[in-house]
Amino acid sequence: MNPKKPLRYSLTGMLVALTLILSACGAPADVPPGELTGSLSVLDWAGYDAEDFWIDFKNTYPNVTVNFEIGISDADIYAKMAAGNQADIFHPYTGWLQFYVDEGLVEEIDTSKLANWDKVPEHFKKIGQFNGKQYFIPWDWGFSSVLYRTDMIPEGVDSWDALLDPAYAGHISMWDDGPAAVTVSSYIHGYDETAITADQLATIKEEWIAQRDSNLFYWAGEPELVEGMTSGSIWAGYAWQGAYATLLANSIPVAYANPKEGRNSWVGVYGIRKGTENLDLALKFLDAKLAEATGNNVVNLFYYGHSNQDVMNGITDATLKEAFSIDDPGILETTNFTPNLTAEQRDAWTAMWAEVKAAP
Amino acid sequence: MDRRATFWVLYLPPLLLLGAFFLIPLLLMFVYSFRADMHGSFFQLWQPSLNQYTKLISTGSYWRLLGVSSLMALVISISAVVLSYPIAYFIAFYGRQRAGFYLVLLLVPFWTSYLLRVMAWKIMLGTEGVINSFLLYINLIQEPLTALLYNRNAVMLTLIYVWIPVATLPILAALQRIDIALFEAAADLGARPIHQFLRITLPLSLPGVLAAFFMVFIPTVGEYVTPLLVGGSRGSMYGNIIQDFFTKAANWPFGSAMSMVMLAGTLILVAIAVRLINVRDLLE
């Protein structure tokens, strides 16, 4: 018999009880938002680190430090997360979401903790769902199409094949992205984008190798394209509607094509790293990302759409309405939404693009 | 402090830095090049595979681009050295009290960012740039020349400019080491200036010339920033494709294999050059 045992049991019991009482009294959830402290790490794109794009969180939780790391592409963000980056939150785009789920890199999101979740339309919510679980919250969205100078191409553009048209040789700028090139060719030739065969990929490669004679430069960031179109050296380019709105606002004569093959549409989402120790804070950050002031800044400063429908319903500016085709109810019916890539497609399509750039 | 202690105090910090931030990443890249794909976490064990090297060997366009990039690096290195030599010669032999001032002038470009210097060339060569505007102003052309920018010539022109100050420094150091008495002796023996240059100055400055050449050649083979900014659709170099596999394709194993091939290729070229030129004789 050990005479000390009862005392040890009673001490343990007291400690457990004390812990329970302290947890009940001082749980982080009860801390007023203004007094909540901590830090969050976000892997995001350049520009989105500006406070304008997380202003609701900043205002609600002024004592939480948010550190940003910048990714330069979807591939870069994915590779960083796969390599063990410790960011709590990351910002990929449609086409690249399945990998995070397959590789177990993303945490399931408890949407009951997001006060603004009801403002997100169902079709947007579905984009972040895999295997019946919500892994991502949709945030920004937009179109991709052909942007062109109406003074240089007065006949207008009604097809994606304008990007390959020798008539505009030396005045075309394609986005520096293999999957985008495959998408454009698929639209033009009527290929099933989700099931490109080896022969079709070979055709696409030859097509884009030939296109280099017409292409002045591949743009990597939207400002490069905007600069080229402003100076008049670029007449037609693959573009997101942010570039269109920027040029319109600067009174440059441009139009955003409604190709007969349909526009492309993309959605940016936020995910939480699997195993993060800052899950509660991360959820608060995502909820604030869906809030109205942040959403309005996305629309008004970057000219992209926001997943909060109240934000989109509040748009009155004519330029923005034009950029989002808000007054064209049929636009979404003819829009091609970006499908998720498989790892094999990603490797094959990006290798194809590298060979296009390396070709003699 | 004894000699051994001095050695470690002076050498250990840079050795540690070099090991941590150059050799270990290089080793990781070497190991990664034997990974079959990106599946799985970064540090998990995997079955070594030659997949990436097999794919690389079977893709002719990458080899051709490596050849083109090496050739471009050769032209850029020779041009930068040839253009740097007169500058170094002037500072070494005619700079006198102002030599320090001229040296500072030479180094002024280093005070601005590399990116800004390359962007400045974009402004010079663009359709609305300085050269086109001038040619239009004097009515020599009616339409802006588009051939000035977004091609390999623009890449080479920009890189030659960027490297000139770098190439000048080792040549200048070699020239400053030449004993002036040698020129006086040569003159006393009737050697004309051109002969003095060919028989004394040039041979004695060759170690600096070679150092300058390799300082330009080696980084230029893998250059990717300048081609990205002024190269356009047809101006890509081998380094751009490596960068694409890391940042646009999420294919680190293939990017690593390409990097290893470039590293091996550059080392082989340097070894051949060193063997042909017989550096030891030159240094002696």
The verdict on residue B131 lying in a domain is no
Q: Is the pLDDT at B125 greater than 60, yes or no?
A: yes
Q: What is the pLDDT of residue B128?
A: 81
Q: Is the pLDDT at A4 greater than 50, yes or no?
A: no
**Cα–Cα distance between B197 and B203 in angstroms, integer?**
9
A35-141+266-334 with A144-264+336-358: one CATH topology? yes
Mutate to test the interface with B, among A93, A168, A274, A347 (most CBs of B within 10 A): A347
CATH class entry, domain A144-264+336-358: alpha beta
**Res. A216 pLDDT band, cuts 50 70 90:** very high
B108/chain A closest Cα distance in angstroms: 28
pLDDT digits (tens, 9 = 90+) for B76-105: 999 999 999 999 999 999 998 999 999 999
Q: Is the pLDDT at B281 greater than 80, yes or no?
A: no
Q: What is the pLDDT of residue A228?
A: 93
**Cα–Cα distance between A203 and A272 in angstroms, integer?**
39
CB-CB contact of A201 with A347 (8 Å): no
CB-CB contact of B183 with B210 (8 Å): no
Q: What is the pLDDT of residue A318?
A: 85
pLDDT digits (tens, 9 = 90+) for A49-79: 999 999 999 999 999 999 999 998 999 999 9
CB-CB contact of B121 with B161 (8 Å): yes
Chain A hits for B229, Cβ within 8 Å: none
CB-CB contact of B167 with B84 (8 Å): yes
Q: For residue A289, what are the contacts with CB-CB under 8 A and spacing of at least 6?
A: A54, A56, A57, A137, A139, A270
pLDDT digits (tens, 9 = 90+) for A74-113: 999 999 999 899 999 999 999 999 999 999 999 999 999 9
Q: For residue B32, what are the contacts with CB-CB under 8 A and spacing of at least 6?
A: B252, B253, B256
If one compares B270 and A232, the residue with the highest pLDDT of the two is: A232
Q: What is the pLDDT of residue A136?
A: 98
Which spans in chain B are helix H? 3-18, 24-32, 51-57, 60-94, 99-107, 114-125, 130-137, 152-176, 180-188, 193-196, 202-221, 225-230, 238-247, 252-277, 279-283
Chain A hits for B123, Cβ within 8 Å: none
Q: Is the pLDDT at A171 greater than 90, yes or no?
A: yes
Q: Is the pLDDT at A7 greater than 80, yes or no?
A: no
User: Which of A215, A220, A355 has the CB atom closest to B61's CB atom?
Assistant: A355
Q: What is the pLDDT of residue A23?
A: 43
What's the average model confidence in pLDDT over A317-332?
78
Q: Is the pLDDT at B206 greater than 70, yes or no?
A: yes
> For all residues of chain A together, what is the average pLDDT?
90
**Cα–Cα distance between B254 and B238 in angstroms, integer?**
13
CB-CB contact of B42 with A82 (8 Å): yes
Query: By C-alpha distance, which of B223, B178, B242 is closest to B204?
Result: B178
Percentage of chain A beyond pLDDT 70 is 91
Q: Three-state SS for B140? A: coil
Note down the domain range covering B189.
54-113+151-283
Instruction: Look at A138-142, A173-177, B107-111 and tell me which has the smallest mean pLDDT.
Output: B107-111
Q: Is the pLDDT at A337 greater than 90, yes or no?
A: no
Q: What's the pTM? A: 0.86
Task: Tally the residues of chain A.
Answer: 360
A49/chain B closest Cα distance in angstroms: 20
**Closest-CA residue in chain A for B143?**
A233
Q: What is the pLDDT of residue A27?
A: 43
**Cα–Cα distance between A131 and A26 in angstroms, integer?**
36
For the record, the structure tokens of A211 come out as 């296109």
Q: For residue B81, what are the contacts with CB-CB under 8 A and spacing of at least 6?
A: B167, B171, B209, B212, B213, B216
Angle at B234 between CA B65 and CA A176, to 5 degrees: 100
CB-CB contact of A52 with A301 (8 Å): yes
CB-CB contact of A228 with A217 (8 Å): yes
> Which residues pair with residue A272 across a beta bridge?
A89
Number of domains in chain B: 1
User: Which of A82, A217, A232 has the CB atom closest to B233's CB atom?
Assistant: A217
For the record, the structure tokens of A178 come out as 């293999």
Chain A hits for B252, Cβ within 8 Å: 79, 83
Chain A hits for B64, Cβ within 8 Å: 358, 360
Q: Is the ipTM of this complex over 0.90?
A: no
Q: What is the pLDDT of residue A148?
A: 98
Q: Is the pLDDT at A25 greater than 60, yes or no?
A: no
CB-CB contact of B58 with B257 (8 Å): no
> Which residues pair with residue A271 across a beta bridge?
A90, A136
**Res. B279 pLDDT band, cuts 50 70 90:** low
B151/chain A closest Cα distance in angstroms: 9
If one compares A25 and A249, the residue with the highest pLDDT of the two is: A249
**Closest-CA residue in chain B for A78?**
B250
pLDDT digits (tens, 9 = 90+) for B173-190: 999 999 999 999 999 999
pLDDT digits (tens, 9 = 90+) for A346-360: 999 999 999 999 998
Backbone angles phi, psi at A67, to 5 degrees: -105, 135
User: Which residue ranges make up each domain of chain A?
Assistant: 35-141+266-334, 144-264+336-358
Was domain A35-141+266-334 assigned CATH 3.40.47.10? Answer: no
What's the average model confidence in pLDDT over B188-208?
93
What's the average model confidence in pLDDT over B107-111?
86
Q: What is the pLDDT of residue A201?
A: 98
**Res. A328 pLDDT band, cuts 50 70 90:** confident
**Res. A16 pLDDT band, cuts 50 70 90:** very low
Q: What is the pLDDT of residue B278?
A: 61
**Cα–Cα distance between A332 and A57 in angstroms, integer?**
31
For the record, the structure tokens of B199 come out as 């028989």
pLDDT digits (tens, 9 = 90+) for B42-55: 777 788 999 999 99
Tell me the torsion sign for CA atoms A261, A263, A264, A267: negative
- Say yes or no for a CB contact (<8 Å) between A354 and B234: no
Q: What is the pLDDT of residue B219?
A: 93
How far is the CA of B238 from the CAs of A336, B71, B80, B223, in angstroms? 34, 11, 21, 8
Q: Is the pLDDT at A22 greater than 60, yes or no?
A: no
CATH number (domain holding residue B269): 1.10.3720.10
Q: Is the pLDDT at B35 greater than 70, yes or no?
A: yes
Q: What is the pLDDT of residue B187?
A: 92
Percentage of chain B beyond pLDDT 70 is 97
Q: What is the pLDDT of residue A26?
A: 41
**Res. A325 pLDDT band, cuts 50 70 90:** confident
The verdict on residue B132 lying in a domain is no
